[in-house]
Amino acid sequence: MEKNNKILTEGNIYKSLLMFAIPFLIANFIQALYGAVDMAIVGWFGSSISISAVSIGSQVMQILTSLISGLTMGGTILIAQYFGAEKEKDTVETISTMLTLFVGFAILFTIVMMFLTPSFLKMLRTPVEAFSGAKEYVLICSMGIIFIFGYNGISAMLRGIGDSKSPMIFILVACITNIVLDLILVGIFKLGPAGAAIATIASQGLSMILAIIYLSKQNFIFQFKFKNFKIHKDKALKLIKLGIPVSLQETMVSVSFLIITAIINTLGVVPAAAVGIASKFDMFAMLPAIAFSGAITSITAQNIGANKPERAKKALNASMLLAFLCSIVFFAWAQISAQSIMHMFKADADVTLAGSQYMRTFSIDFMLVAFGFCQNGFLNGCGKTKFTMINGILASILIRVPLAYILSVYIPTSLLGIGIAAPIATFISVTISFVYIKSGRWNKI
């Protein structure tokens, strides 16, 4: 325990941050390839309708993934705090409780998705042409929910104890598998959205199984044996208290983008395909901010547990600077050559035009989230998940969605208006978080 603990609680802050964030960044980059590869290969071997189906279907799955990742964040925070305080028994009990709860959640969510997928797609106003493909994609992916919970749960506990390298390796294997299966199922067997979905769940399942096998053979802090899967009431309550607000925030952010997707879907298949492609690039553009956010969460939680709050605050400032410097590159790319982004996915002329318009304004958000994501990661690590939830819901539901709708009505022939809604909402959220952190309330129980 001591060796990993010192990586995050002692030594040079920039070194600690980069050592944790770089594997996190690579893992997130690889994970983002899942959706991008699905989209690209479907685009190469299919049509705009297939692209639209995978785009809408993946966004439905994204809301579920956001819910899961929010719950796992509670585990990362609590594990890191106990680990930073060198409380091994509490650390193991938290891991046991988290993984056991996730098995039950996975079964419940699978049942829900089996019955409600058509309703979700109708709520999104999925174009008639793409409805069948999107439904097929979501239903098949839903059969792998247990794998999503499993991988995210294992990654959460590893990052809580300061290990961001192992999750990177697990997801690398999954991504390679996903690409190979995509080429076979979509490219050779022409299964379209269904083939992309099968490739996704098969690779996720492999990732989870390999992770369990690997950790079982190591002298890991938690042993994957049936008798060790128990729910400790006190840990369960703390996990729920920390995780539910983050989960609600992540879910509401995803819901806001789904609502915006519904607004865009009313404009037709071309705008839907354009924003779908642009969203895949957006995922990559925001990866540095996401990685530093995840790093600052674990670093903050461990240092709060070790009673070193000032070190956590210095790590926040360092993370915002590094994330911002990375984000400038993607912003410049989107401004200078948005067309090249669309062409990577073999978009036709109409889709390229619409997507380029959207990227011109939305890309401003790349720089703003460098501050917003790191602020949220810091506050979550401090245990202030309720604040980040309220602030996140305010920005996403009460600002971004209404603004996107109004601009879509007043500028119906262009996606420029819808694109600007996100950076405006993020700017307001960043300002609120800045005031809160400046007040010093983050360091109060």
Cα torsion through 22, 25, 31, 33, rounded to 10: -110
**How far is it, in rounded angstroms, from Cα 431 to Cα 27?**
29
Cα torsion through 189, 190, 192, 198, rounded to 10: 0
User: For the chain, percent helix, then strand, then coil, each to nearest 5?
Assistant: 85, 0, 15
Quote the tokens at residue 401. Answer: 């969605």
Quote the tokens at residue 284. Answer: 């990559």
The predicted-structure confidence for 257-294, as pLDDT tens digits, reads as follows 778 877 887 777 888 888 878 887 887 888 899 999 99
Share the mean pLDDT of the chain: 88
Residue type, 76: T
Q: What pLDDT does residue 34 have? A: 67
Q: What pLDDT does residue 3 have? A: 45
The predicted-structure confidence for 164-191, as pLDDT tens digits, reads as follows 999 999 989 998 999 999 999 999 999 9
Residue bearing tokens 């996975």: 106
The predicted-structure confidence for 391-418, as pLDDT tens digits, reads as follows 999 998 999 899 888 888 877 667 877 8
**How far is it, in rounded angstroms, from Cα 307 to Cα 144?**
40
Q: If pLDDT is split at 50, 70 and 90, which confidence band does 436 have?
A: very high
Signed CA dihedral, 165, 365, 251, 394: sign only = positive
Quote the tokens at residue 183. Answer: 């080429």
Give 311: exposed, middle or buried? Use CB within 10 Å, 0-12, 13-18, 19+. buried
Question: Cα–Cα distances in Å, from 411 out to 90, 405, 419?
Answer: 55, 10, 11
DSSP assignment of 223-265 equals: ---GGG----HHHHHHHHHHHHHHHHHHHHHHHHHHHHHHHHH
Asked if the model's pLDDT at residue 109 lies above 60, the reply is: yes
